[in-house]
Amino acid sequence: MKVTFVVPRFYPYSGGYENYVLRLGKHLYSRGHKVCVLTSNAFDLESFWIKSLRTMPIGPENVGGVEVQRLPISYRKWTRRAGRLLAYLPSWRLKACFSRPSFRVSGIIEALRRVAPDVIHIGPLPYNRLMYEGLREGRRIGARVITTPCVHFGEDGNDDVARYYTQSYQMRLLKDSDAVLALTSMERRRLIELGVQADKIHAFGLGIDIAEVTGGDADRFRAKWNVQGPVVFHLGTKAPEKGTISVVEAMKTLWARGAEAWLVLAGSSIRTFDDYMRAQPTLPRLLNLGPVEEPYKRDLLAAADVLVHPSRVESLGVVYLEAWANGKPVIAADTAVSREIIEPGKDGLLVPFGDTSAIGTAIHQLLADRLASERMGRAGQQKVRDRFSWNTSLDEISKVFLGGAT
């Protein structure tokens, strides 16, 4: 069987979706299938639209048996402006192609036709155009089309996030697919409410390889960065929607009260966050790192005391699993998806999104009560072992690619 993944970004960019596709692709390859990834040359999130930001070399490469083809993003301004106008027309197909945050990957259709796959996997939302092009080509050649949409529903009673993932044309992409892979039971229920056929939706979730994210050297991390005392950390893209600014503001309040904890931010960032940081005074106990390679990421996970990641744009939150695997308690935003994963008081704490006072109180609580913090970390560690291992979920997901065959 020939399987092709159509994704906006791919390894070596290390994000939850990219790691999911890499792990799934390698698993299918190990089972004797031919696996290809068609992707753009974007690296930074905003490099989909801003030419000056970091990109990857265009062309083919092989990643653990998975054939990867990176194709260039088109930055033609007039084409984009014309597309914005077409998005206002009533056709769902035009809306899927040109509604924000649309961008064009040159040669994607031609590449799909050269590969001629049996199965095309598309996603995530809201990268609608790539998904539509994969779906359209799949229908043309009779390939099975599977999507992992990673729908973000945001906060209860607030559609500031959900409206970018639940438009009628986006649901049409899912309805016209052969199968939809949801990451949580909550996502499956919401998609059914939005009209996606229940028998198409499979809720498997994500997993992690515990050995790959544990075993770091805490002392090495602390020595490298001259960090002493408790460590609070935020891991992943630094952006307002991820709660990063709220975390910094919460820590500023704690520091003003005499707290000696460090805040470590690790991951790529968007311009909004960078602008915010440039306006800040010197914060001696803030370590603002870029993306960290796996050995250093493990060292950070080993050295840290508390993960604080109060994001409202998560489909599941692999970073919580990684922290738990290392026995660390977590602080997350109180959203429907977080409530499905995190048990407040047992393996972490939930706070209202953007509430810096509540975030600060939660951080102080976990740093002050070491016994409770360690108990939550151990409970999270056991949860990862019991529920979030790749060992079983990859085989179950593979069955969907095979059309239900064992």
Q: What percent of the chain is modeled with pLDDT above 90? A: 84
What would the two tokens of residue 155 be?
């906060």
Find the range with the poorest average confidence among 74-83, 129-138, 237-246. Answer: 74-83
pLDDT digits 0-9 by tens, 296-311: 999 999 999 999 999 9
Tell me the residue length of the chain. 406
| Phi, psi at 68, each rounded to 5° | -115, 135
Residue 392 has what pLDDT? 67
Alpha helix positions (H), 155-243: 168-175, 185-193, 210-213, 218-225
What are 73's two structure tokens? 């993003």
All structural domains of the chain with their residue ranges:
2-207+389-401, 210-387
244-272 residue pLDDT tens:
999 999 999 999 999 999 999 999 999 99
Q: Are strands 59-63 and 66-71 parallel, antiparallel or unpaired?
A: antiparallel
Q: Give yes or no for residue 285 having a pLDDT over 90.
A: yes
Q: What's the pLDDT at 394?
A: 87
Where residue 126 falls among pLDDT bands split at 50, 70, 90? very high
Give me the mean pLDDT over the 328-352 stretch.
Answer: 97
Tokens representing 150 are: 């990673």
Q: Band of the pLDDT at 82, cuts 50, 70, 90?
A: confident
By the 8 A CB rule, do 359 and 247 touch? yes
pLDDT at site 405: 40
Q: What is the pLDDT averaged over residues 29-39?
A: 96
- Mean pLDDT, range 164-188, rounded to an integer: 97
Q: What is the SS3 assignment for 272?
A: helix
User: pLDDT value at position 231?
Assistant: 98
Q: 207 pLDDT band (50/70/90 cuts)? A: confident
Return the higher-pLDDT residue of 85 and 189. Answer: 189
3-state secondary structure at position 238: strand
Tell how strand 179-182 and strand 144-147 pair up: parallel
Nearest to 119 by CA among 54, 45, 181, 199: 181
Cβ–Cβ under 8 Å, residues 67 and 119 = no
pLDDT band per the 50, 70, 90 thresholds, residue 163: very high
- Tell me what the pLDDT averaged over the chain comes to: 94
pLDDT exceeds cutoff 60 at 406: no
Asked whether residue 144 carries a pLDDT value surpassing 50, the answer given is yes
Structure tokens at 104: 């064009």
Mean pLDDT across 45-54: 90
| H or E element that contains 352 | none
Report residue 158's pLDDT band, with 50, 70 and 90 as the boundaries. very high
Digit-coded pLDDT (tens) for 182-197: 999 999 999 999 999 9
Of 399 and 279, more confident: 279
pLDDT over 90 (residue 403): no
pLDDT at 80 over 80: no
- In this predicted structure, what is the pLDDT of residue 79? 76
Write the CB contacts of 402 (distance below 8 Å, at least 6 apart in sequence).
Answer: 1
Tell me if the domain spanning 2-207+389-401 has CATH number 3.20.20.70: no
Question: What proportion of the chain, given as a percentage, has pLDDT over 70?
Answer: 99
Give domain 210-387's CATH architecture. 3-Layer(aba) Sandwich (3.40)
